[in-house]
Structure 1
């Protein structure tokens, strides 16, 4: 079974959305409401909503009270909101891509933290979201071979490339997790 929902809200999640859109039928995207921005405080949609509109992809605005009845599995990448316990009890198959090898570097900005700490083992983890931060059961993690002196943008690219190369294995692991 593949992902039929995607949760994302910024430019870091866009490459993953593009990949999923190319590799998934009937994808539904959940993103955040437009916000007032800039000097004139004009309402502006985010890059995910813009991509969905341009590519005729079904999207919804996130609502903690919503139950996504047709969601079998969702991939969450760089999503602005944290899911409540109540939301997860109604929508429980959401898997997050975290840009570090968990349990190390939980929380926001893991790539930048790894670079600042000169971390040798840079990688990413995919886990089922539960009510605690970055703590659900892992379905996939991978260490990325890299050179020293990386910028965050380099790490994002390396992780995305590995994700696309490992996608079939990720789906296989997801299916095995769902059988349990």
Structure 2
């Protein structure tokens, strides 16, 4: 993402931009930024992380996260591996409430849609095996691979994700 941000800034002729790739816990910068973005990032997962984000901005903050995300394929794979499919924590409402109690009133928008992940079968086997953490269990690994082979069409696995993404933007006053 940082690569594309730099390309887009250069294409727009922007000279006053800086893009930093860093782990949030170890990130320390002396100056604040006009805009701090946490787009689909797991970094903002507790109040201290949110306060650090706010403290890093002198202008605006933007945060996006999935509110809902459902995949029949993933649910089936979890069931086949004797695991429970845990839906993603809705941190957006949590963060909204923290901001509201601090006197910060963010704009909140939602976008609902269908997203497809498409992978060649062999790549899908690797991805879903890691996502379900079954690499060390030969029986579960075999069940994942067999199911993916069954649902693959022309050597391609397609996962349809029903999702709702939420976005918060607020000004630092």
The TM-score range, normalised by the shorter chain, is 0.3 to 0.5
Question: When you count strand as a share of all residues, which structure comes out higher?
Answer: 2
Highest RCO, 1 vs 2 (Cα 8 Å, sep ≥ 6): 2
- Over alpha carbons, which structure has the higher Rg? 2
